[in-house]
Amino acid sequence: MLLGRVIGTLVPAVLVDELSATPLLWVQPLDREGQSEGDPLVCADGTRMAGPGQLIYWVASREAALALDPWFVPVDDAIVGLVDEVRLYPPEDSR
Amino acid sequence: MILGRITGSVVSTIHHSIVEGRKLLVAERLDQNGRPTGAYVIAFDAIGAGQGETVLILDEGNGARQILDDADAPVRSIVVGIVDAVELETS
């Protein structure tokens, strides 16, 4: 799973039946410090509670298909959960 | 499997049911010499790994689902070992 931030929504005119009830959101992938990394992608929202500005974590491929309800639908990427906080430990010291 | 170092954790209250009661760790990927590659992954914790530890991460969905004993889990990465040392043959 990787971090991402929801930057928008996508409203399809026509969509396969399996996905018709699932929100589609634009997500900007982030590195672990929260900086943008790579190109935005469209994620199906398995939580159905994410919206623009929300920090989330997402999965790709088969795992994305498993994250949704209905289950096993044709998607590349899906949101698994909303992030309340990312706790980064202080950098490695003399340990 | 990949080598990583635990650099943080993710707090999440709204999530897929598989995440319930589980710890999400942020791990930076390491190369064979223990240097960060720049990539990272958010992984489940199967063994109680903690801050700064070098770990072995299973980064494959079917194996992850076997460990969780849930054929429908949308999970790819799980911390499955804590690494004491990596020894490389010098060429």
**Which of A32, A61, A67 minimises the CB distance to B28?**
A32
**pLDDT over threshold 80, residue A78:** yes
Q: Does any domain span residue B84?
A: no
Q: Does any domain span residue B90?
A: no
Contact B74 A49 (CB under 8 A): no
Alpha-carbon distance A62 to nearest alpha carbon in chain B (angstroms): 8
Range of the domain at B41: 2-70
> Which amino acid is located at B20 in the chain?
E
Assign A92 a pLDDT band (cuts: 50, 70, 90).
low
Enter the pTM of the model.
0.92
* ipTM entry: 0.90
Nearest to B18, CA basis, from A20, A34, A57: A57
Residue A70's pLDDT is 87
Residue A91's pLDDT is 73
Q: Does any domain span residue A33?
A: yes
Range 6-65 of B in CB contact (< 8 A) with A: 6-16, 19, 24, 26, 28, 40-43, 51-52, 61
Q: State mean pLDDT over A31-59.
A: 96
d(CA A57, CA B16): 11
Assign B91 a pLDDT band (cuts: 50, 70, 90).
low
Residue A94's pLDDT is 42
**Which of A32, A80, A86 minimises the CB distance to B16?**
A80
**Which of B9, B12, B42 minimises the CB distance to A82?**
B12
Q: Say how many domains are in chain A.
A: 1
Q: Does any domain span residue B78?
A: no
- 3-state secondary structure at position A47: coil
Q: Does any domain span residue A91?
A: no
What DSSP state is assigned to residue A18? G
Give chain B's mean pLDDT. Answer: 95
Q: Does any domain span residue A93?
A: no
Strands A77-82 and A41-45: parallel
Q: Say how many domains are in chain B.
A: 1
What's A22's domain CATH number? 2.40.50.220
Q: Does any domain span residue B50?
A: yes
Identify the top-confidence range among A91-95, B77-81, B87-91.
B77-81
Among B13, B17, B26, B51, pick the best mutation site for testing chain A contact (most A Cβ within 10 A). B26
Q: Does any domain span residue A72?
A: no
Q: Does any domain span residue B81?
A: no
What's B43's domain CATH number? 2.40.50.220
**pLDDT over threshold 60, residue A95:** no
Alpha-carbon distance B76 to nearest alpha carbon in chain A (angstroms): 7
d(CA B4, CA B83): 9
Q: Does any domain span residue B35?
A: yes
Contacts of residue A38, defined as CB under 8 A and 6 or more positions apart, other chains included, come to A29
Range of the domain at A7: 2-63
Alpha-helical regions (H) of chain A: 61-66
Residue B18's pLDDT is 94
